[in-house]
Chain A
Amino acid sequence: MRVDMRTLERLLPPGLILIVGIWVAAISYTQSPAAAFAFPRIIATVFVVLSLAVFIRTVLRPEAEDVTSAAIPTAEWRNFLPGLAIGLIYVYLAAANVGFYTSTAVVVFLLITLYDPAPHNRSATWIRRIVITAGFVAVMYGLFAIILNVFSPREILFR
């Protein structure tokens, strides 16, 4: 029995989905009032059956094309992880606490700086980045705050 990394990598996604399915079913069949869970029970049953089928197929037919594609190359991870981390901090921490416009400006500037290949040692690069960031935030402010009257969380820098 050779359980190598690739097998684990293949079985992880369908396994996780199956676990979620079983959890949904367990809740649907135990919570009250039963009348409110009648529909979720039907869905949960189908959910478990389908995810079991996908899991079994993954085990039996590992050569199927759409099963092996799950593996993400290390280079790709390295590429998107810093940006994703910025995105998660932006959404779950900064936007509500710092304010939408302030945090958006910082995040847009950071992402452009990290992912745009223009040389860092030229002032033209930095001017372009600042102009793009400022222009975009200004458009957002005009559209959402002035035209649409969207009440975003309090900004720490103004209001």
Chain B
Amino acid sequence: MTFLAYFGPVFEPVSFLLLLGGTIGGLILGATPGLSPTMTVALLIPFTFHLQPVQGLILLGAAYTSTVAGGAVSAILLKIPGAPANIATTLDGHQMAQSGQGARALQLSFLASLVGGVIGVFLLIFLTPILAEWALSFGPSESFWIAILGVTVIGTLGGGSVLKGLLAGCIGLWLATIGFDDIMGAQRFIFHPSLGGGINIIAALIGLFAIPQVISLLARGRRHRDVDVIRVARHPLMQSVREVLGRSRSVGIGTAVGSIIGLIPGVGGQIAGLVAYDQAKNFSAERDKFGTGHSEGIIAAESANNAMVGPSLVPLLTLSIPGSPTAAVLLGGLIIHGIFPGPDIFRLYPNVVWPFVNSMLVGQLLMCAFGLVIAGFAARIAMVHHSVMAAVVLALAVFGSYSVQHSMNDVYIMMALGVGMYFLERYGFSPAPLVLGLILGPIAEGNFVEGAMIARAQDGILMYFFTGTLNLVLIGIVLASVGYSAWLELRGRRGPEGGV
């Protein structure tokens, strides 16, 4: 209970203002397509030079927490996930918003984020030593199987036919190999000079989700807005609170999956939302409603991606191992002030680390409160005429994909993928499995190649990838997941194939 003694510094005027500013700014930047949590935190680093260590970390932590949650805003309202973590939120969130219930979707998403986020930080506070040990046990072979577990999710994502889901995932895995490979430096599939830098995941995310959206808006032609879109229902907050509390199973699955996957260095947050969504669907009594604007889908996805924030800091704080790009930037923020993470960090720097952790708890509350305030206004975006919407989304896609790494190539790739995706979508493909393939490709390949090299020097590949408790457990989960889906398919509970 040591942490309770360190709430004071969080409420000092400067710290609290930074926390407030970081949270609000993070929500806004997170809601802008292309501005990922990593980029936002990296942009703030120079400001922390001028601050006390505690203040700097509070600012970075607040921005990290709220950019992840803010990504849900554009995922729900525009069907453009702010970051890979929010992909699963588009599946039901945008559907719900389209039926005029944008406010409800946003409220559910912020409330679920709050629950998941707070539990995640509590895990960080109470279980750090155990979790740290656990995070270390994920070597190349275990990370490889986690990636394969992600691949098994691919087929069922997006609600269309399983075959097309798998094919889309496969196209994503292939797109991920374009460019220089990370280990050998060999050039692969660079059939146009602009592909030399490979396909940036954020740029691809924007293109695959935003551009089909723009084209669909334009396809409505020069006419007045659809009458039914004007009905933007205001939604009583208490009803959403009751709904989230009533969906405790989705919250539980989301939080558990998010915390566990968030902990694994290098795999982390990007797929937590999607895996949680898939599991919540598997265990739901209302499977068929997923993908049609079902509240369980939003709740599972958003509780998962915020639950991951706390545990993802465990390997960083105790072992100095950044589990994600964002954590790597936070590590820089610590080192700049001469704080070297390690097993004793909570004992050596209690005055810095505990207020930092506590500020994330307070930050979750602020994030939720502010999010709920803007939910009502933000939902009105559905009333904007489609001509303005198409123009704004197109311009945001260009600015967003460019600013990831200041590269016109990313903009060109974004647009090409987006236009292609529009036609693929008409043919029954969905972007979510494609992006998941794009994310999992490098994780699966990197860990496989690394594991294979270690294995060759030791006992051989079979021994390396198929022995060890954790490997066997993961293989078991993969087989069970595939088997369960196949069983459901055979029993026909998934309903008729297709149905775009």
Contact = CB atoms under 8 A, between A and B. Distances in A.
Asked whether any CB of A lies within 8 Å of a CB of B in the complex, the reply is yes
Interface stretch (B4-12, B180-188, B364-372): B180-188
A79 B221 contact: yes
Interface stretch (B234-242, B328-336, B381-389, B470-478): B381-389
Contacts of A14: 427
A66 interface: yes
Contacts, number: 174
Given A43-B174, A65-B499, A54 B167 contact: yes
A80 B222 contact: no
A67 B428 CA distance: 7
A100 B402 contact: yes
Interface string A100-133: 1000100110011011110000000000000010
A31 B402 CA distance: 31
B222 A115 contact: yes
A36 B174 contact: no
Given A13-B427, A65-B500, A36 B385 contact: no
B387 A50 contact: no
A91 B411 contact: yes
Nearest to A88: B415
A83 B412 CA distance: 17
A69 B427 contact: yes
Contacts of B166: 50
B130 interface: no
A91 B500 contact: no
Contacts of B415: 87-88, 91-92
A91 B398 contact: yes
A95 B163 contact: no
A71 B170 CA distance: 24
B127 interface: no
B411 A83 contact: no
Interface string B167-196: 100110110010001011010110000000
Interface in B210-228: 211, 214-216, 218-224
Interface residues of A, number: 64
A111 B173 CA distance: 35
B408 interface: yes
B450 interface: no
A143 interface: yes
A46 B167 CA distance: 8
A36 B188 CA distance: 8
Interface in B229-285: none
B218 A79 contact: yes
A116 B500 contact: no
Given A54-B164, A88-B415, A132-B388, A83 B408 contact: no
A148 B426 contact: no
Nearest to B39: A148
B161 interface: yes
B445 A116 contact: no
Nearest to A72: B426
Given A92-B415, A112-B387, A64 B498 contact: yes
A23 to B, nearest CB: 9
B494 interface: no
A99 B285 CA distance: 53
B163 A54 contact: yes
Contact of A100 (B390, B399, B441): B399
B42 to A, nearest CB: 11
Interface in B446-500: 448-449, 496-500
B395 interface: yes
A88 B406 CA distance: 19
A67 to B, nearest CB: 7
A17 B406 CA distance: 31
A132 to B, nearest CB: 6
Contact of B222 (A27, A37, A114): A114
A31 B188 contact: yes
Contacts of B32: 143
B49 interface: no
Contacts of A19: none
B320 interface: no
Task: Give the interface centre of B211, B386, B408 by most chain A CB atoms within 10 Å.
Answer: B408
Given A24-B174, A47-B170, 6 more contacts: A40-B188, A66-B498, A70-B426, A70-B427, A100-B398, A116-B222
14 contacts: A39-B445, A47-B174, A54-B163, A67-B428, A79-B220, A91-B415, A104-B395, A107-B394, A111-B390, A111-B394, A115-B221, A115-B386, A148-B403, A152-B399
5 residue pairs, one from A and one from B, having the closest CB atoms: A115-B387, A66-B498, A36-B186, A66-B428, A83-B218
